Structure formats: C-alpha cells, structure tokens
Structure 1
C-alpha cells in the first residue's frame, strides 16, 4: 500500500484536473443549447433542417409513413423534404421521440461538442498540443463564423460527418479500420463519397475497400429497414435536385454550380457546370494526392474536402464547416513558423467568414437571385476562396504541383 499510494495520488489528481477542464466546454454547450431553445420558443423559426430530420424520423417510426413524401413547412412558408438515404433516417430515429424544443436543445449542445472535437482533432493533425484551453479557445473563436453559426441555426448534420471523416483519415494511414468513418458518413449523406475516390487515388486499397464495405452496409441496413423507400431513393430519387434547391442562384449555394448560375443570372448552366466540375474535380484530387505525397496528410484531406464542396450541385454555406480545420491549420502553422503573413491570412479569412453572415440580409430583401458588379465577388466568396486555396496548393513548393508524370501515375 505504501508503494502504490504515491503513484495513485498523481493519477487521481490528473483525472480530477481532466474532469474539471471539460466543465467550461460543457457550460458553453449548455449555454448555446439554452439560447437555441429560447430563440425557438420565442420566434417559432429556424432549425428547418432539424425539423425535416425529425419529420422524416416520425414518418419512418410510424411504420406506414412514406419517408420521401413527408415534408415540413417552416414559418417562412418554404416546404422541405428529406433528401438523405434511408439509413440516415434510421440513425435519426431518436428525434421521433423528442419534442421540437427538446430536440433543438440536445442537437445544439451536441453540435458544440462536435465542434470542439473537430478543433481537437485538427490541432492534433496539425502537430500541436490539444490541451483543454486550446480546444475551448478554438471552439469559442469558431462559433461565430457563418458556416458554423449557420450550421447551428438550421440544425445540420455536417459537423458530425466531418468529425467522422477527420478522425478516420488523419490517424494512422495503415490503421486496420481506416475508411470506416468515411463509409458511415457517406451512408448518412452522400457527399463524403469523394473521399473514397481520394483513397483510391492514393492506392490505399484496403482503406478504400473498408469505406466501400461500410457504405454498402448502410445501404443494406436501409433496404432491410425500409425496402420501398430504399428502392425509391436508390432508383433515382437521389438525382432529384429540385428537392434540394429550386434555383441554384441563391447566394447560400456556394458551389461552382451556384457561382456559374449567379454569373450568368440563369439557372440553365448544367452543361457548362458539368464540364467545369470534371476539370476542377480531377485537378483538386491531383492536388490532394500531391499534398499527401509531400508528407502532408492533413492538407490532402482538406484539399479533397474543398474539391467536393466546389463540384457538388449544391454546397450550402453550412457545408463549408470544413473551414474549421483549415483555419486551425493555418493559424497553428503560421504561429509556429513565426509567419506573420499566414497568421494575418487566418485572421482575414476568419473575419470574412464571420462577415458573410450578411448574406442572410440578401434573402430578407428578396434580391437573392440577381447580382451585378462587385456583388458577384461578395456572393461567390466561398467558391473563390476554395479555388484560390487549391491554386495555392498546386503551386506550393513540394506540395501541390501536378506535372505530367504525376497525372499519368494518378490516371493509372
């Protein structure tokens, strides 16, 4: 006993300090949740996506409800339907047994904790300390950026999926279960499938296979649970973009598709968008592969995520929560290297992302579909930042330059 006591005491002390260190984060999550509930009960507005998730969960739980016929009409009059695979409705089933306000509170608190987990995973991937103080500071600093604030305001699922992908792809490249997070995330929302292509480009066959198997398992579970809805979704329902957005020109659609529609002031840009999306998709994946070959796995993941956002038919403002790990990486490496330009770039990007919340005023003025002159720069901000980021990585010494030999090796 006298030998073990001195060792046990420091361990117990460390556990207590660790437990106490998470209290501020829990208080932050609780405060945001309480504010969300108060805002919802006071206005009856917002949290539209979460309302759709809950509507779909209730329809599925009822047994005879058709998942893709259930819709939610918000206070603004907009009618939204469920657009994710049946497996997503299965994962969202707990919402069917919660009241709207309770669900908003729990979801908001969980979102803040997921944001903190993303900050911690990003700090680790950037090669710096992951102490509770740094995580709390990063979480508080990133809450106001519009992709995160907008994510909270609509009650989206993207932060949880991003966390799955980050934990999966920034760990040990030879890990036995690498790829499972990508597969599960894609089973809930299809956009993470681009990371399967990314793994194939890197010739990480095992990880790509694991992701494919995990994704296939989610599809199989969906068919076993809701066969008719699964046939409807996988039989063509996933291509019904009208259920996602009636007009791609809306400023909150920060994809190449949306940018082209705004530039031409027309929704009829499908052919041009498809050609450009293929070019950007290939170039972006080459850049991502080059980053990994240069020894920068984290940058490779971020380049792939940016590519996916750009080429998607619709990339809403809250889909750009990938700015969180990007800002963490830029700030950490700039500070570590004493690079004032990088630190200033991180601060400027943070300020621009916070200021982009002004897009909500455009919708309130009913001028969301027609833009001229300098407005086109402002309303395509995320697309421009994404393209500039990929362009910088493509020219980065030892990082992203894709020469002819690299393209040939990638194509093989």
Structure 2
C-alpha cells in the first residue's frame, strides 16, 4: 500500500514537470564540456527547452557528474530520480532512528520511514527538486548520514565522521554551514576531517580541471546572476519570488542601502542567536535525551535563511523538520504543536510564493498580504528557530521533565519513566 502511494505521488509530481529537468541537463552539459576539454563556466549549449543556463558548481561537481554525460537525458534524469529517492529514504531513516521519540524496534522505524516517503514527495521543495532534477536531496542525505548515522556509538562508522560533509561542500559550497553542529559539540576531529575532505575536492578540481578551477575560485564563486528561466521568469535573483531568504525578503521590501545591509546584519545576528541557543538546548543532556536531529535541522534552517540565494527547492530540510515536529507533538500529545505542524505542512505542499506576481520585478509591487504569502518560507523558518529556542528555555527551566517518550511506548511507560526520574 505504501509503495502504491509513493508510486502515485511520483507519477503526480512527474506529470506536473514544469521545469523539464533543466538542472539535471545542466549537470550533463557541464560534465560533457569537461570531458571534451571545453570551458565549464562559459557558453554551454542550450538545454533541450532552449534555455542557456550556466554551470554554477565547483569543478569537482562536473567531474562527479561525468556518468550523466555518457547517457541520454532520459537515462540521466532516471538515475538522478532514483538516487534522490534513495537519498530521501536514507535521510528519513537516520533522522527517525536518532530522534528522541525514536521507536525502540528498527523494523518500526523502517515502516515509519516508508510511510512518510509519499507525503514527503508531494511537498513543494521536494517536487521542485525532482522536476528540476536537482541534487538537493543527495546533499541533504550526505549531511544527515554523516551527522546522525550510528551516533549512539554502539557500532563504529565505516569512515571518519565529517568526510561526507566535506564532499557535500565540494559539490556545492553551502553544506559547509553544517560545521556549526560539530563546532557546538566541540568535535574537533569531525571539523578537521570535513575540512580535509573539502580541500581534497578542491585539489582534485585543480588537478583535473586547472583552468576551470582557477576561474571558479577566483571569479565564479562570488558572482551573482540574474534569473533566466525563460520569457516568463526573468530578472534580478535577489528579488525573484523563488528566492526565499532574509536578504531576498529585504530586497523585495525595497529597503534602500545602507539600511538594507544594516537590517540584514541584525536579522542574521538574531537568527544566529536563536539557532545557537536552540541547538545547545537540543544537545544538552539536561533536557533529556540529546536531540541531534533537531540540532541538525536548526543548523539547516539557519543556513537557508542567511544564504543570499535560497531557492524554494533548497528547503528540502523542512521534510525532517516537519517529521520531528509531528513526532514530538504526537509523542507528547501536544495538540497545538500538531495543529501548527499540519498547517505548516499544508503551506509547504502549496508553495504559496508561486501564487503571487513574479518575474521582471513584479515582486517590488507586492502589497502587505503578497509579502506575507511570498515570504512565507522565511517566516516559517524564523518561527522554527523561535519555537525551539523557547522550547529549550522551557525544558531547561523544568529540569528536563518534558522528555519525549518513544512513539511505540504506552502511556504507562511514560508514567514509569517520570516516576523513575523523581525517585
């Protein structure tokens, strides 16, 4: 039944397909240019839909994408879809396995993972990732597995922790923000491993594509381009409706300089304070079982908010975020949290920012309600940070009495656990 639901979810998403898998095609074109000895960062051939799009990833990514260049677009997209689904499944599993409400039995966790998959597939960030044939789900899985797999220490990792985060940052720079988690955990070994792994990807890029690597790290890494998704969507990336970040919010509000830079700095500092407090609370044993998955998602939301460009399909981290909120709400029988999570999930299914005027500067004409709708991901992200900072404060004040029971525990189990703490 679950497989049937996922099949229909995938068919529905594929039928929508407004983007013709153009990002996957760009991966092909970039890799093919490298194989042919052509420049990666200029004058790539147009996609099958006639769009001339740049390759914006480090040279290491073009090297990794080489297998896609050896097959047709249909086969390449199929491969990306398959890997993306496996990545989403892997992320859900390690998050659910490490969550404070984790089911005691591994089989129960696997069943929950499979049950959540069809629901996750229809969320707008996941839909967009799949219809663009993007690698967001793969990057999320690399970070989640590296951060959460076998974290209890009962079984040793088959590789040094931090390796996958470094590789993810080598494919696309933004995963480097996840070094905040080992930093707060004072896990120097993981940080060093991630940095060495990342530098290894940079070195490999210079070794196999020297001219492209030099151009990327000296010029392309700081470049900012206009959006060009066809005649309907074209214009400044900072104000485009699909860009949902703090900087984009201020740009859409037409806040003039230098006030925009000042306001952005204040918002980033505020978001950083909320994130660090929430993460430290989640990592603290004083509030019960360490909640590493929540700390990781808080780290992710912070990165999405402060990035100059966070396309809505980058927000795939809301999948584990919603799962964690629902799991905690259900385990605690916290109905306000469950209702708020359900409403947030509905918004993430809809993708409300696509329902307002967009492209060619139309975002600058938004009224109050259009700003509220168009920037909803930003407000929900800030709300996620605020909630967990507040929750951490409450839990610390109560001395950790709000421990979350496992999903497969009975009310009697929870009562016995509370009695044991008080004895």
Indicate whether the TM-score tops 0.5.
yes
What residue is the counterpart of 2:268 in the other structure?
A: 277
Q: Which has the higher contact order (CA 8 A, sep 6+)?
A: 2
Q: Which moved more, 1:256-265 or 1:175-184?
A: 175-184
- Could you state the TM-score of these two structures normalised by the residue count of structure 1? 0.81
**CA distance 1:76–1:380, shift in 2 (3 Å):** farther
Separation in structure 2 between the aligned mates of residue 342 and residue 132 of structure 1, nearest angstrom: 24
Separation in structure 2 between the aligned mates of residue 296 and residue 131 of structure 1, nearest angstrom: 17
Please say if residues 248 and 267 of structure 1, whose CA atoms lie closer than 8 Å, have aligned partners that are also in contact: no
Separation in structure 1 between the aligned mates of residue 380 and residue 209 of structure 2, nearest angstrom: 40
Shift in Å, 1:113: 2.5
What residue is the counterpart of 1:165 in the other structure?
A: 143
Separation in structure 2 between the aligned mates of residue 384 and residue 229 of structure 1, nearest angstrom: 38
What residue is the counterpart of 2:415 in the other structure?
A: none
Which of residues 18, 25, 28 is equivalent to 1:54? 28
Q: How does 1:108-147 map to 2 (within 5 A)?
A: 108-126=81-99, 127-128=102-103, 130-147=108-125
What residue is the counterpart of 2:418 in the other structure?
A: none
**CA distance 1:144–1:39, shift in 2 (3 Å):** closer
Shift in Å, 1:76: 7.0
Structure 2 residue 312 is the aligned partner of structure 1 residue 317:
yes
Instruction: Looking at secondary structure, tell me which structure has more helix per residue.
Output: 1
Separation in structure 1 between the aligned mates of residue 305 and residue 294 of structure 2, nearest angstrom: 16
- Could you state the TM-score of these two structures normalised by the residue count of structure 2? 0.79
SS of corresponding position for 2:20: coil
SS of corresponding position for 2:242: coil
Q: How does 1:280-291 map to 2 (within 5 A)?
A: 280-291=271-282
Shift in Å, 1:94: 0.7
Separation in structure 1 between the aligned mates of residue 219 and residue 152 of structure 2, nearest angstrom: 35
Shift in Å, 1:283: 4.2
Structure 2 residue 335 is the aligned partner of structure 1 residue 348:
no
Shift in Å, 1:124: 1.0
Shift in Å, 1:216: 1.1
**CA distance 1:267–1:319, shift in 2 (3 Å):** farther
Structure 2 residue 61 is the aligned partner of structure 1 residue 88:
yes
Shift in Å, 1:279: 4.4
Separation in structure 2 between the aligned mates of residue 361 and residue 337 of structure 1, nearest angstrom: 37
Separation in structure 1 between the aligned mates of residue 127 and residue 39 of structure 2, nearest angstrom: 32
Shift in Å, 1:369: 4.7
Separation in structure 2 between the aligned mates of residue 216 and residue 85 of structure 1, nearest angstrom: 12
What residue is the counterpart of 2:414 in the other structure?
A: none
In the alignment, structure 1 segments of 5+ residues that lack a partner are: 1-20, 403-412
SS of corresponding position for 1:305: helix
Q: How does 1:204-223 map to 2 (within 5 A)?
A: 204-223=187-206
Please say if residues 87 and 222 of structure 1, whose CA atoms lie closer than 8 Å, have aligned partners that are also in contact: yes
In the alignment, structure 2 segments of 5+ residues that lack a partner are: 228-234, 398-423
- Cα-to-partner distance string for 1:140-187 (whole Å, 9 max, x where unaligned): 111111011111111111100101111111232766622112111111
What residue is the counterpart of 2:254 in the other structure?
A: 264
- Cα-to-partner distance string for 1:267-309 (whole Å, 9 max, x where unaligned): 9945543453344335423432332124221111111111000
Shift in Å, 1:347: 1.4
Shift in Å, 1:360: 6.0
Shift in Å, 1:323: 0.5
Q: How does 1:2-81 map to 2 (within 5 A)?
A: 24=3, 28=6, 32=10, 36=14, 45-63=19-37, 65-71=38-44, 73=46, 78-81=51-54
Please say if residues 108 and 155 of structure 1, whose CA atoms lie closer than 8 Å, have aligned partners that are also in contact: yes
Shift in Å, 1:191: 0.6
**CA distance 1:61–1:76, shift in 2 (3 Å):** closer
Please say if residues 226 and 237 of structure 2, whose CA atoms lie closer than 8 Å, have aligned partners that are also in contact: no
**CA distance 1:345–1:137, shift in 2 (3 Å):** same
**CA distance 1:219–1:145, shift in 2 (3 Å):** same
Separation in structure 2 between the aligned mates of residue 372 and residue 92 of structure 1, nearest angstrom: 42
Aligned positions, number: 375
Separation in structure 1 between the aligned mates of residue 281 and residue 9 of structure 2, nearest angstrom: 42
Separation in structure 2 between the aligned mates of residue 400 and residue 87 of structure 1, nearest angstrom: 44
SS of corresponding position for 2:53: strand
What residue is the counterpart of 2:176 in the other structure?
A: 193
Please say if residues 394 and 401 of structure 1, whose CA atoms lie closer than 8 Å, have aligned partners that are also in contact: no
Separation in structure 2 between the aligned mates of residue 75 and residue 59 of structure 1, nearest angstrom: 16
Please say if residues 284 and 390 of structure 1, whose CA atoms lie closer than 8 Å, have aligned partners that are also in contact: yes
Shift in Å, 1:119: 1.8
Shift in Å, 1:110: 2.4
